[in-house]
Copies of this chain bind each other. A is one copy, B any other.
Amino acid sequence: MTKFTDWLGIDIPIIQAPMAGAAASAMVVAVSNAGGLGSIGCATLSPEALRTELQAIRAGTRRPFNVNFFCHTPPPMDAERERTWRAALAPYHRQYGIDPDKIPAGPGRAPFSAEAADLLEDIKPAVVSFHFGLPPAALLARVKAMGAKTFCSATTVAEAIWLEAQGIDVIIAQGVEAGGHRGMFLTDDLTTQIGTFALLPQIVKAVKVPVVAAGGIADARGVAAALSMGAAAAQVGTAYLLCPEATITPIHRAALKSDAARHTALTNLFTGRPARGIVNRVMRELGPMSSAAPAFPLATSAIVPLRAKAEAEGSGDFTPLWSGQNATGCKEIPAAQLTRELATAL
């Protein structure tokens, strides 16, 4: 195998994790121009916003970047489950004066689509990555045909083996420490989700394609350790969240800088799928994992108005405060500088 960075055309084996809603074109451009691989998470972008963002990245850098998509199958609406969910949230809706009959459909998350593939054919990103498994075979074939390198998250050895069999170029071993959504797709059993120290070497042993380490990697020593355990590169998310380029709210920034960041949990309350965030009021009161939450992404709509009302009062009680299990690597420095610092122990 050619050296991974050469093959990819980057200088530094650091991938800024795609974080839908938390990092946009400015972050991607900064990281890629610094020699790493910037990534844009597209799951929350409208088709128009996706086009605008991709054009901004293309205008800002000639270096490789990564365009990331969710690959879930949107579930049918389940009226009974939606009722159960709204009943669980009813005390909060009353507290904030929200009329549950007037809650609009939530922003949700859209999976990779033919329209997105059309756009990619214009932009020709070096890397297209997937979360929650892969798109339908025809769509995946289009991505490969356009010459993009394909990456996908695996949270278990079985998922890694499956992805290699589908012809994916690079597997991201997502340890349970990682912030945001678990990429799990062959199981919904959270006990299968294991730590990076255990997951990374087992996936490295199980597949022949390059493996990127993700989850809990927050500083230069962590990056070096991951590479010494066989990773071709390290994917770092949380550490970028205090960079000026991050698009998170002041409430989220404050939470990351506080002692509260020491305690995260996997929660399905914000979207319906387990994702790691800093424990806040709604997670404490409903339990971070609730059987009342509708399937991804349908849980979103009923909780979003609470977030808006609470944030207007300066509260993060209903905000998804996405974070990995080690926020101590967060620095209020430009993303380019952080990218270079992360590589200083290599």
Contacts and interface: CB of A to CB of B under 8 A. Distances in A.
Interface string A296-324: 00000000000000000000000000001
Interface size class of A (residues with CB under 8 A): 35 or more
Copies, count: 2
Nearest to A190: B265
B191 A177 contact: no
A197 B263 contact: no
A136 to B, nearest CB: 28
Given A157-B262, A228-B224, A228-B225, A325 B195 contact: yes
B262 A328 contact: no
A218 B230 CA distance: 14
Contacts of A288: 191
Contacts of A229: 221-222, 225
Interface stretch (A19-27, A30-38, A198-206, A330-338): A198-206
Interface string A193-237: 011111101100100000000011111011011101110000000
Nearest to A227: B225
A197 B157 CA distance: 18
Interface in A252-304: 262-266, 279, 288
B175 A195 contact: yes
A326 interface: yes
A195 B192 contact: no
B177 A198 contact: yes
A346 to B, nearest CB: 11
A148 interface: no
Nearest to A265: B191
A176 interface: yes
A332 to B, nearest CB: 18
Contact of A197 (B191, B205, B222, B228): B222
A201 B217 CA distance: 10
A177 B197 contact: yes
Contacts of A222: 197, 201, 229
A176 B195 contact: yes
Q: Which of A192, A194, A202, A225 has most chain B Cβ within 10 Å?
A: A225
7 contacts: A156-B262, A176-B195, A177-B198, A195-B195, A198-B218, A201-B219, A201-B328
The 5 closest A-B pairs by CB, nearest first: A195-B195, A197-B216, A198-B325, A198-B216, A191-B265
